[in-house]
């Protein structure tokens, strides 16, 4: 009987945490662990495990970061348009995305680990002003 009550409490706490946002997560998976500067596109899948829509920035949907002791963003171009929520992933949805390496060729360093940082707006609507609620990170990759 005690095991039954303990099991019920664990399940109830998990469901409660899920509904109240304790578990707001997406998985950003890059398809290959290594790229060359001649590779034109990094392919990634964004899988949502959140109970609400998650949107990304129209100006800065991702940053490429390098690990040089700690994680640092490569410089980004200034955005000249309004920063809106776009490219949304529905609750428990999956989207694929490609990111061209060409625009980063002059910055990327081949001797460091890299990852993508995706600032996200949780529960917002497409077209609304973008706000950063949480930043999600991809798995690490190398540039050869």
The domains located in the chain, with CATH, are: 25-143 (2.60.40.2550)
pLDDT in tens, 93-115: 999 988 887 777 777 877 789 99
- Residue 16's pLDDT band, with cuts at 50, 70 and 90, is low
If we measure between CA atoms, which residue out of 52, 63, 59 comes closest to residue 25? 52
8 Å CB contact between 121 and 132: yes
Residue 98: enclosing H or E segment and its boundaries?
strand 94-100
Average pLDDT over residues 112-134: 93
Q: Give me the pLDDT at residue 39, please.
A: 67
Confidence of residue 4 (pLDDT cuts 50, 70, 90): low
Of the pLDDT bands very low, low, confident and very high (cuts 50, 70, 90), residue 22 is: very low
**pLDDT tens-digit series, residues 24-47:** 588 999 988 888 877 678 888 999
Q: Are 64 and 114 in contact (CB under 8 A)?
A: yes
pTM of the model: 0.78
């Amino acid at each position: 009987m005690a095991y039954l009550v303990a099991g019920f409490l664990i399940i109830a706490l998990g469901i409660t945490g899920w509904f109240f946002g304790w578990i707001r997560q997406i998985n950003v998976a890059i398809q290959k662990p290594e790229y060359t500067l001649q590779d034109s596109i990094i392919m990634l899948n964004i899988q949502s495990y959140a109970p609400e829509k998650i949107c990304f920035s129209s100006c800065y949907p991702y940053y490429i970061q390098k690990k040089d002791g700690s994680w640092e963003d490569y410089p980004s171009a200034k955005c000249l348009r309004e920063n809106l929520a776009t490219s949304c992933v529905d609750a428990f949805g999956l989207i694929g995305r490609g990111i061209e390496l060409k625009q980063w060729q002059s910055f990327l360093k081949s001797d460091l680990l890299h990852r993508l940082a995706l600032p996200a707006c949780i529960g917002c609507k497409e077209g609304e002003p973008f706000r950063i609620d949480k930043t999600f990170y991809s798995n690490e990759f190398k540039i050869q």
